[in-house]
Amino acid sequence: MSSQFMFADDSAAKVPNLPEEFWKVLIVDDEPEVHAVTKLALSDFSFLGRGLQFFSAHSGSEAKQLVKDHPDAAIVLLDVVMETDDAGLNVARFIREEAANRFTRIILRTGQPGQAPERTVIVNYDINDYKSKTELTAQKLFTAVMSALRSYRDIMSIDQSRQGLEKIISAATDLYALQSMNSFVDGLVQQLSWVIGGARQTLYASADDDSSHDYRVRAAYGDDAQPAIGHTLRSVIPAEALAEVDTVIKHHSIHYGDDFILAYCRSHCRPRGAILYLQGFSRSLSDDDHHVLQLFAENVQLAHDNVICLEDADRFLATMTDELMGRVSTDYDSFLAQQPVARLADAIAAELAPEQRQDIACAAYLYQQAEDLLTCRDDQPAASMATCQQRVSRSLRALEQGHSSATQLAHRALHERLERWDGMGLPKGKEGEQIALSSQIIMLVQQLHCWLQGWQQGQDSEQGIVARLQAESGQYYAPDVQQHVAGRLAQLRDVI
């Protein structure tokens, strides 16, 4: 064995059983003895209940591939001189620049300090420690690895908190959309996992409905957490936590176990709230941790409650809209007599879409009622139009939940209102027949009604309306739709 890398004698100790999880350590050195003695010296190492898992490379090129294969490695023990005098330094640069890995801790080990002076290397390369093999005893190696792992843990904690915060900020811009709410809670759960003792697993579960006693996992973060989403909380937590679930729900309380926490998140608009489960902490929890957890339990459900209330309102409005459409269908002639836009849509749809005639007329009426939402259409840049479309989407979720055909046609037309036949519209750039015929009729009717009123009042003419329709042919609407309307202008004027 090389005399350049000898450890001081340590007392013999039995190697414990390997834990279920490991910190990955990459050993990069061209001397096989170095790999063997490093593994021996760190064989009984444990940090936060995790041992070490070693991966070996014997050259710079092997090391680069190893880094690609294991981007989650916590530490690289890196020799400087291998196939070339600066092979190790090239690997260090590769890790930080080409692999863009800022997390893995790099401990440089060299048997020839003069070849790579410490000050020069530390200044010019993004490494975390520099050790001379001649001075590196087993104890010093242990200390260096322990220090590096603590640094790696803290860096990962900061980054995970950053990712969680990004989810929260992103979701907060559109908090009251259901999909955004899921992302919001998911971000909070991720944040909490790292803020509260670096929990290995965090689950957030809520009741399926008011009468259900099952709490189903809605958001999860940590080790083997994602498969738990969609399952009942009782089916995915250990027995010792399961025994406390009913008590936590009954008393709306927080239970602190030996290695887990169960916290009830009370709802203000539902009989049942949610349950937060955290397990596997990297440190003892402080009073501040308890305070943060209490704030989470009290406030995250408030945000969720807001979304629930909006969903209730959407369902109510959808039911009322369907009821209105049902009443209209039973006295359709009286409805047409009172609604000129609906009469106009009925007349056009009678020939272009006879099977949907009544639904299109009713949908045109619903579309007209959303006029206040459409004021951002004219003379707006594309970005503002996209924002306007998002506003329409948020405001019309109730129509999406409606069951009547007329409600669904109106909902689609409102979402396609900025699309164009030539594909130059927003937000999806639909083209041609991708835009529903019913939507084209409903949208054209709104514009045509204004033109025909102007003609009746002497402010416009048949020739002027025909000219506009011909000029826009194939742009906003299908050519055959515009031609059909242009050929019946006199009849349509009489309809309104």
Q: Are 206 and 215 in contact (CB under 8 A)?
A: yes
Contact 63, 91 (CB under 8 A): yes
User: Which residue ranges form the domains of the chain, and what is each CATH number?
Assistant: 22-156 (3.40.50.2300), 173-300 (3.30.450.40), 331-495 (1.10.3210.10)
Please tell me whether residue 61 adopts helix, strand or coil conformation. helix
Rg (CA), the chain: 34
**H or E element that contains 304:** helix 287-330
User: What pLDDT score was predicted for residue 391?
Assistant: 62
Is 209's pLDDT higher than 80? Answer: no
Question: What are the CA-CA distances from residue 133 to residues 5, 27, 85 (Å)?
Answer: 5, 14, 16
Spatial CB neighbours of 351, under 8 Å, sequence gap ≥ 6: 484
pLDDT at residue 371 is higher than 90? no
Q: Cα angle at 115 between 120 and 6, to 5 degrees? A: 110
- Backbone φ and ψ of 383, nearest 5°: -60, -40
- Tens of pLDDT along 31-72? 999 999 999 999 999 998 889 999 999 999 999 999 999 999
Q: What is the 3-state secondary structure (H, E, C) of 459-472?
A: CCCHHHHHHHHHHC
Give the pLDDT score at 12: 39
Q: Is 393 exposed, middle or buried (0-12, 13-18, 19+ CB in 10 A)?
A: middle
Q: Please tell me whether the overall predicted TM-score, pTM, comes out greater than 0.75 for this model.
A: no
* pLDDT score at 123: 82
- pLDDT per residue over 66-95, tens digit each? 999 999 999 999 998 899 988 999 999 999
Q: What is the pLDDT of residues 212-268, one digit of tens each?
A: 678 999 888 887 788 999 999 999 999 999 999 999 999 999 999 988 999 998 887
- Bridge partners of 261, per DSSP, are 256, 278
- Let me know: does 346 contact 336? Beta carbons within 8 Å: yes
Neighbour-count burial for 136-164, b at 16+ CB within 10 Å, e otherwise: bebeebbebbeebbebbbeeeeeebbeeb
The per-residue pLDDT for 199 is 81
pLDDT higher than 90, residue 178: no
Residue 296: predicted pLDDT: 77
Angstrom distances, CA of residue 138 to CA of 134, 144, 283: 11, 10, 26
pLDDT at 307: 72
Strand partners, 312: none
Torsion region of 78: left, alpha or beta (phi above 0 gives left; psi -120 to 50 gives alpha): beta
* Confidence (pLDDT) at 2: 41
The amino acid at 307: V
Q: Which of the residue ranges 26-35, 54-63, 111-120 would you say has the lowest mean pLDDT?
A: 111-120
